[in-house]
Amino acid sequence: MRENELAARAKKGFRPRTTVAGKGTAPNLIKDLEPSGVDQIWVSDITYVATVEGWLYLAVILDLFSRKVVGWKLGENIGSRTGRDSAGKCAHDGARPDPGLYFHSDRGSQYSSQAVRKPLSVIGANLSMSAQGKLL
């Protein structure tokens, strides 16, 4: 190979995707807001965790004021179910925010799906999404 000036291509490491652009995104409603108490702004994202048995996806919802976890879901795939289950669990378990809560996420298909929007609308939450390529 060296004599012929050839080189093997290095294999790229596998990195699971956590965001696939979704349709029906929402505007960024929290860009200029600063929470003054709990249950005003919740933020959520999905990440992946390597385990001995393979990749797991973790969806976490944090209260932006207290930085406490208000909901989470661990799943084997990244479909809208992971985001939906974490949002739905928050909406129906323990956390009882007043209507008008801002629920902020990225523009991933998990968060733009009706499966996530429905439980949020039940509790009167406003869906907010980051601009493309932005964190908040």
Are residues 30 and 132 in contact, defined by beta-carbon separation less than 8 angstroms?
Answer: no
CA–CA distance, 122 with 88 (Å, rounded to integer): 9
CATH classification at residue 97: 3.30.420.10
The residues facing 31 across adjacent strands are none
Mean pLDDT of the chain, nearest integer: 79
Residue 54 lies in a domain: yes
Are residues 120 and 83 in contact, defined by beta-carbon separation less than 8 angstroms?
Answer: no
Residue 102 lies in a domain: yes
Residue 135 lies in a domain: no
pLDDT tens digits along 38-87: 999 999 888 888 888 888 888 888 999 999 998 888 888 776 455 556 65
- Looking at the structure of the chain, the number of domains it has is 1
Boundaries of domain holding 74: 41-129
Residue 12 lies in a domain: no
Q: Is the entire prediction scored with pTM above 0.85?
A: no
Residue 33 lies in a domain: no
